[in-house]
Amino acid sequence: MIIYLTGFMTSGKSTVGPILANVLGLDFYDLDEEIVKREGMSIVDIFEQKGESYFRKVETRLLKEISNNDDVIISLGGGTITIDENLKFMKENGFIVYLKVDNETLYRRLKNKTDRPLFKDLVMNENGKEEFIKRINNLLDKRSRYYEQADLTIECDSRPVGLTVDRIAQSIQRKINEKNKH
């Protein structure tokens, strides 16, 4: 079984993933961390030095490579699912879980992070909340149609991590049982 965790940056994929993997007895991979290891530079540096399209190519290659493993949970980057090739591949090969978080929570989590290429300029220039929310909305407008194609959507704004993990694990177990009945 392959489970893909998707959602906007700072939605909790890298936090929920290892705990969920432990609960379900699966291996865990953070796609962004794997890219950093392979490329020997941060995501921000890759974006700045080699460009987003280079990053997306590496991301797609590693997504497919890691998906060759059985029994894994893969935490995706926020934009991974927006590449049609990736979305099609994940739908054919695994179970996609969308961690949905409201804009207010995303703003609180992003406002001081300089390791997010698409928000670094706002943090460095100390832009106000309005600019952050506007950019979050713009990105969500572009990405929502991809996120919403997930097999399971879990709202995880203010819910403790343990409850989020329990809900995902129970839902996945139900889906597996339904599949096995057919």
* Sole residue written with tokens 């079984």: 1
Strand partners, 18: none
Residue 169 lies in a domain: no
Is 114 annotated for ligand binding? no
* Residue 111 per-residue DSSP state: T
Q: Considering its fold, how many domains does the chain have in total? A: 1
In a domain, 65, yes or no: yes
Q: Is 67 annotated as a binding residue?
A: no
Q: Is 152:168 a contact under the CB 8 Å cutoff?
A: yes
Is 11 part of any known ligand binding site? Answer: yes
Tell whether residue 171 is among the known ligand binding residues. no
Helix axes of 161-181 and 13-24: crossing angle, nearest 10 degrees: 50
Q: Which of 156 and 38 is assigned the larger pLDDT? A: 38
Domain that holds residue 135: 2-158
DSSP element (H, E) containing 34: helix 31-39
Give the C-alpha separation, 106 to 98, whole Å: 15
pLDDT at 149 over 90: yes
- Higher-pLDDT residue of 168, 11: 168
- Give domain status of residue 30, yes or no: yes
Is the pLDDT assigned to residue 5 strictly greater than 90? yes
Tell me the C-alpha distance between 14 and 10, whole Å: 8
- 172 belongs to a structural domain: no
Does residue 178 sit within a domain? no
Assigned domain for 26 exists: yes
Q: Are 86 and 14 in contact (CB under 8 A)?
A: no
Q: Is 108 annotated as a binding residue?
A: no
Q: Is the dihedral of CA 122, 123, 128, 129 positive or negative?
A: positive
| CATH number of the domain enclosing 37 | 3.40.50.300
Q: Does some domain include residue 175?
A: no
Give this prediction's pTM. Answer: 0.85
CA distance 142 to 126: 25
pLDDT at 6: 94
Say which residue the tokens 């704004």 belong to.
157
pLDDT for the residue 178 = 74
Q: Is 153 annotated as a binding residue?
A: no
Nearest-CA neighbor of 4 among 149, 113, 157, 139? 149
Quote the DSSP letter at residue 76.
Answer: P
Residues 127, 99: Cα–Cα separation, whole Å: 26
What is the per-residue pLDDT across 54-109, written as a single tens digit (0 to 9) for each?
999 999 999 999 999 989 999 998 889 999 999 999 999 999 999 988 877 777 76
In a domain, 16, yes or no: yes
